[in-house]
Amino acid sequence: MTTLPTVLITGASSGIGAVYADRFARRGHNLVLVARDKGRLDTLAARLQAETGVTVDVLRADLTQAGDLAAVEARLREDASIGILINNAGLAQAGAFVTQDAQAVDRLISLNITALTRLANAIAPRFAQAGEGAIVNLGSVVGLSPEFGMSIYGAAKAYVLFLSQGLSLELAPKGVYVQAVLPAATRTEIWERAGIDINTLPEVMEVGELVDAALVGFDRRELVTIPPLHVAERWEALDTARKLLLSDIRMTNAAERYRTTG
């Protein structure tokens, strides 16, 4: 009988991470759940073990803290049973760029960019050597749209998309699957923690629907999954336009419009 890979999920105590845990447990995967709130993790682990019979390990960690991040990296490097990483932990941003203090900026970048990258970097070499494995990075449609006004958060999520695309180009030939999931507003605690009233948002997706859609993309081995995008051709057109733009970049000379005439 084939043994399913263990799934390590960050930000697993609530919201998207907790639903990913539920769904993978019901598929028969053992889990390693990572978050700051050990009480919530223990409660979730006990429920999933009782309901599904899978093994659920709890790893309490604040991924903005160097020691905690290093401990999760070590688990990813050393635990050969882990075959799927769900890079879900993240912070949202409330207010304009000019209202953010240095501590808030640093914390968001530490979690949304640094921790996500370090964890992917910890496990990618082992996956590449094994010729299998999956890395799922949670981005956001905000990373496609500066018009939403969440400049730091959006920039971090744009990084997640770019990183996922780059990792896929490098790792897919080695048998490693990388998926970027781009939700829109989803009903989770991330908004309340950022000081944003979710009830002021015009449209919000329920978290179960978001994760179930993301898992359809996962099963299809999509590189970029955008559950709230109803016209898939829009993304395909954007990606095609990006590649066409690159074909028009010639590095020998500046474009004619930038050349002075006298």
Give the active site residues. 153
Closest to 191 measured CA to CA, from 8, 16, 12, 10: 16
From the DSSP assignment, how many helices (H) and strands (E) are in the chain? Answer: 9, 7
Burial class (CB within 10 angstroms; exposed 0-12, middle 13-18, buried 19+) of 116: buried
- Cα–Cα distance measured from residue 133 to residue 93, given in angstroms and rounded to the nearest whole number: 32
Secondary structure class of 48 (helix, strand, coil): helix
The answer to whether residues 92 and 63 touch, using CB atoms and an 8 Å cutoff, is no
DSSP secondary structure of 122-133: HHHHHHHHHT--
Is the CA virtual torsion 52, 183, 180, 12 positive or negative?
negative
First to last CA, the chain: 76
